């Protein structure tokens, strides 16, 4: 087992640069770590661009600016666009595609002084729970390289947990930020749907996708999200709100002051079927929360048992529609010498998409087809509404929900590749969050008997992100 190397937080790096240290110090160190990566977490290093950006930050600081993320090196998941940088969503079908624009979330971070140093590995088109479906090969868990890091944002989680960067961006459609963060021992935050613009995110499931940060501290996650969030004219699903309060949500709080008086909902079913090590850490968290002054309240999510089925109808239906644009005509992979237009489409997509993506496109096309739409897609939307109602009822009784991120710690590479259903169940505790659009965060809470990290999840009502972050900082402090 490899311990995580010590790395300065984003807040500490920005403070040093604002005080006069050159941004190049942090950036060059991060570039060296990225170039020495042995986990396959980093698929591209952007050295020249990053050093030029560091010099630009130094110029702005000398001119009297104070930048909240001055000189902070960040890594970006391969489905989040940055102008002039290749982005493939780790798929052969987008090989060679260079983005003509920058995602709103990244543009706002760069304006605040952050510097993109690398692109991170991911499951192809964000479809996977283990980061084993990437065209670049699997990512290794930094704690135990024989195990998976989780997915689909496994490269971003591994990069933070290994100390390569203090901040990495991921995308979360059904747990793809929280689950890998939990399995690697990092903080993974999925904001309320609509808090962060999706403009510049290569779409998987548009009603579920959300960009969010993976960090080593809750305070960093809060600061980064406060900068990324807010209305965006390019994204009609992004709410017209400001989120400056998030940055202050974790400031100067002891665990007791962060947690005292909160009602924490416990769903009994979330304690079922857990590995012993995960169960032990969940029980320890409950005991620690009570000692810190929180009150535990039993609540129910009666329709959550249908969440995995609902998700794999809705998400695959949306994926089928979103991925129809990758047809070998406008950009990306094109098959050699097709004889007909139909052959161009079929062969380009068959050659360009991996097995898991093809599986989900076929399932999505089926549930959207004439004769099956009402039976599957419409029915799934109706059950989704019931799940949303369950969350509303639960939050009428409590402030937050506590549970595991994953039923197990990180499993061995290759262990579940031949059994897609078992792989899908890795996200059983995270999927309902996306269906309801509520915010959730994974925080590391110790390890099992073998030293593998255990992540615990807190969920909050829509737009209660500041409360969520405050409680998460308190919970993480209790694990120390």
Cβ partners under 8 Å of residue 266, min gap 6:
286, 296, 297, 298, 299, 401, 402, 403
Cβ partners under 8 Å of residue 281, min gap 6:
445, 446, 447, 448, 454, 456
Burial of residue 306 (number of CB atoms within 10 Å: 0-12, 13-18, 19+): middle
Helices (DSSP H) in 134-265: which residue ranges?
Answer: 154-161, 178-184, 218-228, 255-259
Q: Which of 91, 129, 134, 152 is catalytic?
A: 152
For residue 62, indicate whether it is catalytic.
no
Q: Contact 190/434 with Cβ under 8 angstroms? A: yes
Cβ partners under 8 Å of residue 154, min gap 6:
41, 121, 122, 123, 130, 131, 139, 148, 180, 184
Helix axes 23-35, 10-18, angle to 10 degrees: 140
Beta bridge partners of 412: 147
Q: Which of 176, 226, 406, 442 is catalytic?
A: 176
Query: How does DSSP classify residue 389?
Result: H
What is the Cα–Cα distance from 422 to 260, expressed in whole angstroms?
38
Q: Which residue has the tokens 């857990």?
A: 274
What is the Cα–Cα distance from 110 to 115, expressed in whole angstroms?
6
Q: Contact 170/201 with Cβ under 8 angstroms? A: no
Helix (H/G/I), strand (E/B), else coil: 347 = helix
For residue 176, indicate whether it is catalytic.
yes
For residue 77, indicate whether it is catalytic.
yes
Side-chain half-sphere exposure of 137, counting CA atoms within 13 A: 7
Which active-site residues does the annotation give? 77, 152, 176
């Amino acid at each position: 087992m490899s311990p995580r190397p010590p790395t300065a937080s984003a807040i500490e790096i920005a403070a040093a640069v604002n005080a006069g240290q050159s941004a190049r110090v942090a950036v060059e160190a991060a570039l060296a770590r990225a170039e020495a990566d042995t986990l396959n977490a980093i698929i591209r290093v952007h050295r020249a661009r990053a050093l030029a950006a560091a010099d630009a930050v130094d110029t702005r600081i000398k001119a009297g600016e104070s930048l909240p993320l001055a000189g902070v090196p960040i890594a970006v998941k391969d489905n989040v666009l940055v102008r002039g940088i290749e982005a493939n969503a780790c798929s052969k079908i987008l090989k060679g595609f260079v983005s003509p624009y920058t995602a709103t979330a990244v543009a706002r971070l760069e304006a605040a002084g952050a510097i993109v140093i690398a692109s991170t590995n991911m499951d192809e088109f964000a479809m996977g729970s283990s980061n084993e479906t990437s065209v670049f090969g699997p990512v290794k868990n930094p704690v135990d390289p024989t195990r998976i890091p989780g997915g689909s944002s496994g490269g971003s989680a591994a990069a933070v947990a290994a100390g390569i960067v203090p901040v990495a961006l991921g995308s979360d459609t059904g747990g793809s930020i929280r689950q890998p963060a939990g399995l690697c021992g990092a903080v993974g935050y999925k904001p309320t749907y609509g808090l962060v613009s999706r403009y510049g995110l290569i779409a998987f499931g548009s009603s579920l996708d959300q960009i969010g940060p993976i960090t080593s501290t809750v305070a960093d996650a809060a600061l980064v999200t406060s900068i990324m969030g807010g209305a965006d004219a390019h994204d009609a699903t992004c709410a017209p709100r400001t989120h400056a309060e998030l940055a202050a949500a974790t400031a100067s709080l002891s665990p007791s002051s962060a947690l005292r008086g909160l009602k924490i909902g416990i769903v009994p079913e979330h304690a079922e079927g857990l590995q012993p090590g995960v169960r032990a850490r969940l029980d320890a968290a409950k005991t620690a929360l009570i000692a810190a002054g929180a009150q535990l309240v039993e609540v129910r999510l009666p329709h959550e048992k249908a969440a995995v089925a609902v998700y794999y109808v809705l998400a695959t239906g949306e994926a089928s529609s979103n991925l129809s644009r990758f047809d070998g005509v406008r950009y990306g992979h094109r098959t050699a010498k097709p004889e007909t237009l139909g052959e161009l489409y079929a062969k380009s997509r068959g050659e360009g998409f991996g097995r898991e993506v093809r599986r989900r496109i076929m399932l999505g096309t089926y549930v959207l087809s004439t004769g099956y739409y009402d039976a599957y897609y419409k029915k799934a939307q109706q059950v989704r509404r019931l799940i949303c109602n369950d969350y509303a009822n639960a939050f009428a009784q409590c402030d937050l929900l506590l549970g595991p991120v994953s039923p197990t710690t990180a499993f061995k590479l290759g262990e579940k590749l031949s059994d897609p259903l078992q792989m899908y169940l890795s996200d059983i505790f995270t999927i309902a969050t996306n269906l309801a659009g509520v915010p959730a965060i994974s925080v590391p809470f110790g390890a099992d008997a073998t030293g593998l990290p255990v992540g615990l999840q807190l969920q909050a009502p829509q737009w209660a992100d500041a409360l969520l972050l405050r409680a998460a900082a308190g919970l993480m402090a209790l694990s120390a």
